[in-house]
Chains A and B, each alone.
Chain A
Amino acid sequence: MAIEPRTRRERITLGVLLSPGLFWLIFFFALPFLLIFIYSFLDRGKFGGLVWEFQFDNYIRFADQLYIRIFIRSIIIAAITTVICLLIGYPMAYWMALQPSRTRNTLLLVIMLPFWTNFVIRTYAWRMILARQGQINQLLIALNIITKENAPTYLNTNGAVILGLIYIWLVAMILACYASITGLDRSLLEAAQDLFANPVRTFFRVTLPLTLPGIISGSILVFVPSFGAFVTPDMLGGGKADMIGNLISQQFGEASDWPFGSAISTILMVVMLFGTLLYFRGLRREKVQS
């Protein structure tokens, strides 16, 4: 598949074309990560700051049930978010892909429209909706389901955080699934029908395997940022549903412990990288088998 440069000229062209991407990768990914990696072996000064003494303490410190628990909780929250996004996003993308092309473009626009507003503002809106005197409770009171006196608040719970994350990341899932569903060759579906496969069977034997790449890239697009989220849990969790991202931001903020924050970041990166690699490897094997 890869294009092999043959002549010198081609090689130069390739270099020119790649340079913006390489520049991006080096300056916005590789160098910052290297910095974080180096920091993670340093010691913290009395009032924060860095002391240049190499050591492994920061990693040893992380192996503590306190931090592991936050880590696992973050994985669970991110996983629930991903699954729900998939359950909502896939059918939605499927339905969109079936529409005539003009409707499709309108639908895409409608889906993306809210995302032109800063997500902090949109998350604040959820704070109002979920509050004790928010719109949900107003509706429930109007319907006589609850009374004003025992109206609960939905804020500052894991549920509120998951809701906020789904709301922010659903669009990534929809777009990823949509891209792969529109690329689906319709004649294969007709062929399955001609061979007397019922719709359910067609879906699970043809549509799903062929759109799996979209599902996977969508899942990664949702899982990775949800796992590291810290603004959403902060705003909808009220400091009571902190995730690993909050732990990191605390180390770089209040706790002034950059080395420990860097160590957690590095661990996070490695786990994510391996997770993604395993995922792709599994996918490739499955493809070879089928």
Chain B
Amino acid sequence: MKKILLSMFMILIMIGVAACGPSDTADVGGETDTSGGEEADTSGGEADTSDAKEDGGTLYFYTWSEYIDPDIYAQFKEETGITVVEDIFGSNEDLLAKLQGGATGYDVYVPSDYMVEIMIELDMLAELDQSRLETIGNLDPTFTNPPFDPNMGHCLPYFWGTTGIGYNLEDWDEPPDSWAYIFDPELASNFSGQITMLDDMREVFGSALIYLGYSAGTTDEAELAEARDLVLGIKEHLYSFESDTYEDLMLTGETRMSQGWSGDIFAAAVEDENLWYIIPKEGAVMWVDNLCISADAGADPERLDRVYQWLDYLNRADIAAQNTNWVWYASPNAAAEDGILEEILTEPAIYPDAETMERLEFLGNVGDFTETYSRMWTEIKAAD
């Protein structure tokens, strides 16, 4: 009997520990968090490579899943002795929430445009000293004075891209060039149960609002409600809301279409040439992800030294090119273009023409109105 009670106790402890899964507000404190729930499949210690020439210390890099050529970590370590430890977040809101929840110890974050603005306002970012970056001249001037971070006062642009439609060439004679193929219930029913949308509130509303002809960052309640009803109308045809593995679902044939980020789909297309991506004719959300220095790394000269080495390295023409060829997003690094694959440079869905560029829109910081977004997002998620 005692034995049984003991083993029961052990089981409960184990289950209890497991149940605490992805609430991680814990410090990074030394190792990559591999138990991060939804992200558990992609996160990992790829960055941990052994045999260093000398120990150059460790840099904690908080980024999106599969958003860097993993070889770069090893190369960087080879060159500088610095070990980069990668940790993963799933959305901008997720990043902010984890930092507000007390996660500390990160040196570099990779937030998107509107989140950069919020994080600057919340004093979460250190200022960028451009004189410490030898490679600063590599950037395309289009990106050196972004509206969300005037004159790159805090962050260095990393990649940019769009949120459009991923599809399977087998299903289409003409590419699905309209958001209607997802948002029109009748058209969506052709692929009922085989469409995914991003599990990202701003992105889902962003695309829906653009389809309706409104601004992707609206602060008008009636417009947002219309967008909500639009998504509710096609929810029955959705396979799931998914941000991390939707391209894998398309690869295995589990789904046929997705609202997705350009680079994810193109990276999957390397494995299956039938997968492709399009920026719909109504327009799309455009985003710039940025390398930003955490405020606490900014206060520590030793950490800051590692950070600048890392930013400089990623912004080097050859490294930026290598990285672009792996992630398939557009690089704001003009000097890198010589090294970027021809098929990436000439793909209009990655480097859109001027006319398409005009139909792209940043999500924008909506301030207090976030609360309304999040309530309507809950209404979408909670609907039967």
B14 engages A115 (CB within 8 Å): yes
Among A48-102, those with CB < 8 Å from B are 48-49, 66-67, 69-70
Q: Give bound CA distance, A182 to B7, whole Å.
A: 15
| B12 close to A (CB within 8 Å) | yes
State which size class the interface on A falls in.
35 or more
A-contacting residues, B110-145, CB 8 Å: 118, 121-122
Residue contact B23 to A249, C-beta cutoff 8 Å = yes
- Min C-beta distance of B343 to chain A, whole Å: 29
| Listed residue (B15, B235, B377) with the most chain A CB atoms within 10 angstroms of its CB | B15
B206 smallest CB distance to A (angstroms): 15
Question: Which residues of chain A are near B381, meaning CB under 8 Å?
Answer: 239-240, 242, 246, 250
B4 & A47 in contact (Cβ 8 Å cutoff): no
CB neighbours of A112 from chain B (8 A):
7, 11
A55 to B4, CA, bound (A): 48
Q: B121 — nearest CB in chain A belongs to which residue? A: A47
Docked complex: A216-273 residues within 8 A CB-CB of B: 221, 225, 229, 231, 234-235, 237-240, 242, 246-247, 249-250, 252-257
- Measured CB to CB, the closest approach of chain B to A172, in angstroms, equals 7
A67: chain B residues at CB < 8 Å are 378, 382
Q: Does A119 make an interface contact (CB < 8 A)?
A: yes
Q: Does B100 contact A (CB under 8 A)?
A: yes
B7 touches A254 (CB 8 A): no
Q: Looking at the complex, which one of B1, B37, B370, B379 makes contact with A231 (CB distance below 8 Å)?
A: B37
The residue on A at minimum CB distance from B381 is A242
B311 interfacial by beta-carbon distance below 8 Å = no
Within 8 Å by CB of B4, from A152, A155, A178, A252, lies A178
Q: Min CB distance, B111 to chain A, in Å?
A: 12
Q: Does B170 contact A (CB under 8 A)?
A: no
Q: A210 contacts the other chain (Cβ, under 8 Å)?
A: no
Contact B93 A255, beta carbon cutoff 8 Å? yes
Whether the Cβ atoms of B252 and A231 lie closer than 8 Å is no
Set B15, B96, B100, B252: member contacting A115, Cβ < 8 A: B15
Contacts of B362-384 to chain A: CB distance below 8 A: 367-368, 370-371, 374, 377-379, 381-382
Q: Report chain A residues within 8 Å CB of B96.
A: 47-48, 256
Q: Does chain B have a CB within 8 A of A120?
A: yes
- Which of A47, A221, A238, A240 is close to B370, meaning CB atoms less than 8 Å apart? A47
Q: Hey, which chain A residues are within 8 Å of B122, CB to CB?
A: 47
Inter-subunit contact A239/B199 (CB<8 Å): yes
Report whether B21 and A240 are in contact in the complex, using a CB–CB cutoff of 8 Å.
Answer: no
Closest A residue to B118 using CB positions? A47
Known A-B contacts A49-B100, A155-B240; A235 and B253 likewise in contact (beta carbons under 8 Å): no
Q: Does A124 contact B (CB under 8 A)?
A: yes
Pairwise interchain contact B38-A235, C-beta atoms closer than 8 A = yes
Our pick among B1, B15, B97, B368 for the contact of A254 (Cβ within 8 Å) is: B97
Q: List 7 A-B contacts (CB under 8 A).
A: A108-B4, A116-B14, A179-B1, A225-B19, A240-B238, A254-B201, A256-B370
Other CB < 8 Å A-B pairs besides A155-B240, A172-B15, A225-B19, 14 of them?
A67-B378, A69-B382, A108-B7, A115-B11, A132-B253, A152-B193, A156-B239, A168-B15, A172-B11, A238-B241, A238-B242, A250-B381, A253-B97, A255-B377
